[in-house]
Structure 1
Amino acid sequence: MSKCSTNYLLSKYSINQGGIMMVCKQVGKVIVFFLVLTLTLLTFGCSGQEPAKEEEKGPVKIGFFAPVTGPAAADGESVLNAAKLAVEKINEAGGINGREVVLVDYDDGLDTKQAVSIAQKLTTKDGVVAVVSGSYSGTTRASAKIYQDAKIPMISSYAIHPDITRTGDYIFRQSFVGQVQGRAGAKVAVEMLNAKRISILHVDIDFGKTLSQSFKEKAEELGAEIVSIDSFSMGEREFTPVLTKIKQLNPDLIYIPAYAGEGAQIVRQAKDLNMKIQFLGTEGIDSTIQFLGVAEDAAEGVVITTNLNRDSERKEVQDFIKSYNEKYGFKPDMVAASTYDAFMVLFHVMKEKGTDPEAIRQGLTEIKDFPAVTGIIKGYNRLGEVEKSVQVQIVRDGEFHYFAEISDPDIIAAPTE
């Protein structure tokens, strides 16, 4: 065979060999593809579901802020206790579909700037899927827009200012908006306590201003006369001058939208002045330690509108009171119960809808007849306001007891815009 023939054969063989190798590579790729497909189907089934994201296998983080230090520290301690108890209870029950719940809590010191800073941390660094406010109206209102803009659901446990929920559709309220509680107080004063001449003495912040205004409007509508309106700074301890002035006006009732510390001093100093007059308070003095413990027998007969009926026979109420008392050594107040409920509503929604913030927001709008400690939550309206009855308590023998429950639609209906 000539050299040319040999080169030709080698060349032809090389071409064929390349073709064979190319075919083998293609066949190999097909085999690998089917092996991967088979393993995927065996691992995840044939339903087409995607595997869970890695981050969804970790803990569920819930943000929380409260005034643990500063002028409202007693309430801050109470609500932080409730938040920790709620998280403990849900984790003992298996968490959120097997995932542990972690509380990411901060102290706002009742400072609006601090509340804003906390909101920025919670929404950008801490990886929370929802937030509960255990704070007052000023701090909650100041930070609400940050949660709204971040599209992180936030539930206000007990802050009453109407603008809080008007921030947007990710903001909800667990307790009553100010207008509702003010109207309820007026109904109690005029129709249940038969007051015709009323004095108002309120703390000079959002809480007191909102409640006194709505109370005044409804009381006058019901036929009562408001004979005086006075205010005082938060932390005030001397009320003898204003009480002396009110005593000379001889009203049937004094309405006191105040907090527990000031409320206790008001009723003590009124007793010292021998003022035999009916006091009507609000959830602000719903405190077993700061109000009842300090006011002592001067609190006897005081009536309050609030968010907790201690005498309810419902299991949710009695179990909460017992658990809180056993764990912390004193009975819970309204702010603790409201905070506990805010967490329980969130846990209920997350178990059913998942932990995506948008799913949580949607789930909150669908709540119906939820058996909370603070009453049966009928739902949240289009503005995020809770719909439930107002509880009325009276102090008897040094403890809060049932006086009435207000469920009139015209009283408890929250604003929708």
Structure 2
Amino acid sequence: MPEKPDTAVTLTHRAIGLRTTDPEAARELLGVALADDTGYEPAWRWLAELVTDDAERRFCLDRAFAIKADPETDRARRALRRVAPRVPREVRDVVEPPRPEPVVPVAGRRKRSGKLVALGAVVLLALAAVGVWTATSRAGGEPVRVAVVAGLTGRDPAAAADVERGVRMRVDDLNAAGGVDGHPVELRVYDDADQPERATAIAEEIVRDGKALYVIGHGVTATSLAAAPIYRAAGIPAVTPSASGSAVTDSSDWYFRSMFGDRTQADFLAVYASDVLKAKKVAVVYDDTASGRSAQAAFADSYRGFGEVVAALPVTGDPRAAVDRVKDLGAPVLLATEERNGVALVKGLRGAGFEAPILGTAALGTKSFHDALGGATRDLHLATPMAQDSLSGPALAWSEEFQRRFGERPRWHAATARQALNVGLHVVTKDRIGLDPAAIAADRRRLRDGLASLKDKKNAFPALLGPLYFTANGSAQMPVSFVTSDGVRLVSTPVQLTTHEPGSPQALAAALADGSVIAVGDRYLTRRQVVATGINLNEVRDLDTRDGTYFVDFFLWLKYTGPHAAADVQFVNAVKPDLKLGQPLRDVTGDDGTYRLYRVADRFKSGFEFRSFPFDHQHLRVVLQNRTQTADQVVYVTDKEVLDQPAEHHLRSGADAEATINDIPNWLATSARFFQRTVGSSDALGDGSAAGTADGIYYSQYTGEVEIVRDTLPFLIKNLLPLVLLICVTYLSLFFNASDGAAPVSMGVTAILSTAVLLNNVTSQLPSVSYTVALEWGYYAFILLAAGCVLVAMLRKRLAGLRRDAQERRLSRAARIGYPAYLVAVLATYLVVFA
């Protein structure tokens, strides 16, 4: 019978027989067996039994477990987990030796593997960079440093505080959103106490520091004049939000003003006194300060062409001396004083029986001044850059946010300070100013030149209170609004003035001849009819998000003095282009003007934004505009009856006070707001005879806006429940046996296809949009997760086929942990972004 050849099996059997009598020979035989078949697991196990060193035993057990993941072997390995493995001498020749460092790239499969590893590293680095960028999404890099100087402990600390609040609020919002082109904005706030000496010292400190790109301040004329030469010599642009003295910007081509100056204010006051109040004589009482003297001199110069300034009295001590001198003149009086003296003068004049109108400069055009007067508010006419009842939509939203943050409505100082900040940052962005500390002098020069280039409406910056651009001497070109008291608050006067831009010399001559345009110095003003407008919503329903239409039922009333052309309005966002008001329900004309009430019920349309779907907020608007009258001729402001109502009242139906205005299923009405805005074209549209055609034709619009939000929880329960079930089923696929790869793969593919169908069903209610909405990202995240489960199932099956049981178990365990972790990360992202 022929002799059988030795194999790993036969050699191992012989070694087992010698293990007690000759263990050394048994180990040698096991070494020969493993040289014949290194994958024979029993030989490794028996060699582990025969070696006397724990390090060698650990090596043999590791090799045996790598071939077959036996629990007994694993327990023995774990008992030696603190021992470093070492190769026994019997198998040194059969263990793969260490490899030298590669000198040249390895071709073929390993080269491709290296490329894949490199690609994976690049992807991981890119993801890490994105993660770092996301985690540090706040602005970084060289800051835009802005100095703010105000009289925080000066003559009017409340106004100065609003300057600082207005700027700080904007900077906080900017930095939270990523800054200006990625650069944070850094404020440096100084208090000059409205003292020229202190202002000089602060200006010198700002120059020595050398870091501020520009300055917002100072608060009053005297301090601005003290600082202006220092900023000019150092080449630092400055924008004052409240110093109206003409000399501030006249004396320096580096100083700008984000509100009107005394010359503009004086022109408007002179025409208002002569044309609206029909005054032939005016007395002026002014503070004996740089601000007061500048305002008095400018008014005297402007009013010279209309009447006589019968008295010009400075307040140097007790204001009652001025009261005694003007109370018997019988002429209207203009107060060019700060708030403290103004309150004493008005109360003193009314208490002494003074019946004539009282005018005031912008320093008195504040709610705090009005409230301090108590009941002495009759026949009061105050100039202001900002009338609360005629704010535009963005300005109204800003005012409400300011009140939420600080507990009170903002003064106009907060708005003009915000404009001063924004216009500078606008130039930084528009002119791509680099913010290199080594080139700050050049950056300041470019900023100054950029501000000076804002010289007409076509180049204006769209600021909070309207287009912001500057005269040749750096003062903002903006109209002066006039407010009066309704006994409770300051509201716009029935007649306003606005700057007239003549279309042609012939049109100007005709307008001057018929009195519709008034010349004052080198400026032309025209009267503008003010229409107090109110909307009382009855019902909002039948929302169609696909075409952006909805039905609105509401009452509309108009109050005005003057021609009835003010009531000739159209609805610019009505589905029917010819929708008219129809006959009024009430039409009353008396000595106080005209009151007309209408009811409108029809479909309107708006452009909707769905990027946050289904967490989106939509705005349902009703927008009216005069058919023929431009913004120079008529303006629509919010009626005081609307201002008197609490915000929650606007959400109750005007037809049934017990009902809500909202009748849209699955949506909640959160607020209703009413505001005006000016729209139009910078082109004259071919009409050379129209008023204001030099800079285009503009119209005043009035908007009622209802904000609605989806009732998200029921929506998510209804639309995401199938997805939740798919998530659970897909997770179960990770618990199948590794060898059964077909079922998990099939489950993952089915989940992907089902998710695509669900996504199409959920988004079918949206119009065709070119961007990805929020809910789609969630579905895409699950599709990626399901695809990952398919890949894991395939890899597990491959590892099981190669008998790499340990690697398969590690992959399975990682997938089962990573799956819910991934879901939690996606959910957390949605909570952070949309909560």
State TM-score, norm by structure 2: 0.41
Q: CA deviation at 1:110?
A: 0.9
Q: CA deviation at 1:202?
A: 0.9
Per the alignment, do residues 362 and 152 of structure 1 end up closer, same or farther by CA in structure 2, a change over 3 Å counting? Answer: same
Per the alignment, do residues 134 and 400 of structure 1 end up closer, same or farther by CA in structure 2, a change over 3 Å counting? Answer: farther
Corresponding residue of 1:317:
395
Aligned pairs for 1:4-403 (under 5 A) are 57-125=141-209, 127-222=211-306, 224-233=307-316, 236=317, 238-251=318-331, 253-289=332-368, 291-353=369-431, 354=433, 355=435, 356-367=443-454, 368-377=459-468, 379-403=469-493
Deviation larger for 164-173 or 121-130: 164-173
Q: Deviations over 1:105-136 (max 9, x none)?
A: 10001111111111112122151111110410
What one-letter code is carried by the residue in structure 2 that aligns with 1:335?
H
What one-letter code is carried by the residue in structure 2 that aligns with 1:301?
D
Cα distance in 2 for partners of 1:273, 1:92 equals 54
Deviation larger for 292-301 or 106-115: 292-301
Cα distance in 2 for partners of 1:313, 1:142 equals 34
What one-letter code is carried by the residue in structure 1 that aligns with 2:373?
A
Any conservation in 2 of the 1:198–1:228 contact (CA below 8 Å)?
yes
Any conservation in 2 of the 1:375–1:389 contact (CA below 8 Å)?
no
Cα distance in 2 for partners of 1:65, 1:247 equals 38
What one-letter code is carried by the residue in structure 2 that aligns with 1:239?
P
Cα distance in 1 for partners of 2:460, 2:353 equals 46
Corresponding residue of 1:407:
499
Cα distance in 2 for partners of 1:400, 1:248 equals 27
Q: CA deviation at 1:358?
A: 2.0
Cα distance in 2 for partners of 1:372, 1:209 equals 30
Cα distance in 2 for partners of 1:194, 1:57 equals 59
Per the alignment, do residues 168 and 249 of structure 1 end up closer, same or farther by CA in structure 2, a change over 3 Å counting? Answer: closer
Q: CA deviation at 1:333?
A: 1.5
Cα distance in 2 for partners of 1:66, 1:412 equals 33
Q: Deviations over 1:245-274 (max 9, x none)?
A: 3122222x1111111121112111222212
Q: CA deviation at 1:413?
A: 6.4
Corresponding residue of 1:34:
none
Q: CA RMSD in A?
A: 2.0
Cα distance in 2 for partners of 1:116, 1:348 equals 28
What one-letter code is carried by the residue in structure 2 that aligns with 1:392?
F
Per the alignment, do residues 413 and 101 of structure 1 end up closer, same or farther by CA in structure 2, a change over 3 Å counting? Answer: farther
Cα distance in 1 for partners of 2:305, 2:170 equals 41
Q: CA deviation at 1:398?
A: 2.8
Cα distance in 2 for partners of 1:118, 1:413 equals 37
Cα distance in 1 for partners of 2:222, 2:193 equals 12
What one-letter code is carried by the residue in structure 1 that aligns with 2:403?
N
What one-letter code is carried by the residue in structure 2 that aligns with 1:266?
L
Per the alignment, do residues 389 and 269 of structure 1 end up closer, same or farther by CA in structure 2, a change over 3 Å counting? Answer: same
Q: Deviations over 1:154-176 (max 9, x none)?
A: 11112122222233332211122
Deviation larger for 167-176 or 154-163: 167-176
Cα distance in 2 for partners of 1:412, 1:326 equals 43
Question: Residue 380 of structure 1 aligns to a residue in which SS?
Answer: coil
What one-letter code is carried by the residue in structure 2 that aligns with 1:284?
A
Any conservation in 2 of the 1:153–1:360 contact (CA below 8 Å)?
yes
Q: Deviations over 1:159-210 (max 9, x none)?
A: 1222222333322111222122112111111111111222111111121112
Q: CA deviation at 1:70?
A: 2.8
Deviation larger for 174-183 or 367-376: 367-376
Any conservation in 2 of the 1:346–1:360 contact (CA below 8 Å)?
yes
Give 5+ residue unaligned stretches, structure 1.
Answer: 1-55
Question: Residue 227 of structure 1 aligns to a residue in which SS?
Answer: strand
Question: Residue 298 of structure 1 aligns to a residue in which SS?
Answer: coil
Any conservation in 1 of the 2:232–2:254 contact (CA below 8 Å)?
yes
Cα distance in 1 for partners of 2:216, 2:470 equals 16
Cα distance in 2 for partners of 1:411, 1:181 equals 12
Cα distance in 1 for partners of 2:473, 2:284 equals 29
Question: Residue 114 of structure 1 aligns to a residue in which SS?
Answer: helix
What one-letter code is carried by the residue in structure 2 that aligns with 1:173?
R
Q: CA deviation at 1:300?
A: 3.6
Question: Residue 243 of structure 1 aligns to a residue in which SS?
Answer: helix
Structure with greater helix percent: 1
Corresponding residue of 1:25:
none
Cα distance in 1 for partners of 2:289, 2:498 equals 26
Give 5+ residue unaligned stretches, structure 2.
Answer: 1-139, 436-442, 502-518, 524-835
Per the alignment, do residues 239 and 149 of structure 1 end up closer, same or farther by CA in structure 2, a change over 3 Å counting? Answer: closer
Cα distance in 2 for partners of 1:383, 1:116 equals 22
Q: Deviations over 1:327-346 (max 9, x none)?
A: 11111122222111111111
Any conservation in 1 of the 2:260–2:479 contact (CA below 8 Å)?
no
Q: CA deviation at 1:311?
A: 2.1
Cα distance in 2 for partners of 1:164, 1:239 equals 27
Q: CA deviation at 1:411?
A: 5.1
Q: Deviations over 1:16-56 (max 9, x none)?
A: xxxxxxxxxxxxxxxxxxxxxxxxxxxxxxxxxxxxxxxx9
Any conservation in 1 of the 2:236–2:254 contact (CA below 8 Å)?
yes
Q: CA deviation at 1:313?
A: 4.4
Q: Deviations over 1:211-236 (max 9, x none)?
A: 112212222311x2222221103xx5
Cα distance in 1 for partners of 2:319, 2:350 equals 12
Corresponding residue of 1:29:
none
Question: Residue 303 of structure 2 aligns to a residue in which SS?
Answer: helix
Quote the sequence identity (%). Answer: 22
What one-letter code is carried by the residue in structure 1 that aligns with 2:406?
Y
Q: How many residues align?
A: 352
Deviation larger for 393-402 or 178-187: 393-402
Deviation larger for 186-195 or 365-374: 365-374
Per the alignment, do residues 219 and 315 of structure 1 end up closer, same or farther by CA in structure 2, a change over 3 Å counting? Answer: same
Cα distance in 1 for partners of 2:196, 2:320 equals 31
Any conservation in 1 of the 2:365–2:483 contact (CA below 8 Å)?
no
Structure of higher RCO (CA pairs closer than 8 Å, 6+ residues apart): 1
Cα distance in 2 for partners of 1:411, 1:65 equals 34
Deviation larger for 354-363 or 404-413: 404-413
Q: Deviations over 1:284-317 (max 9, x none)?
A: 112222x122112212431112211222242232
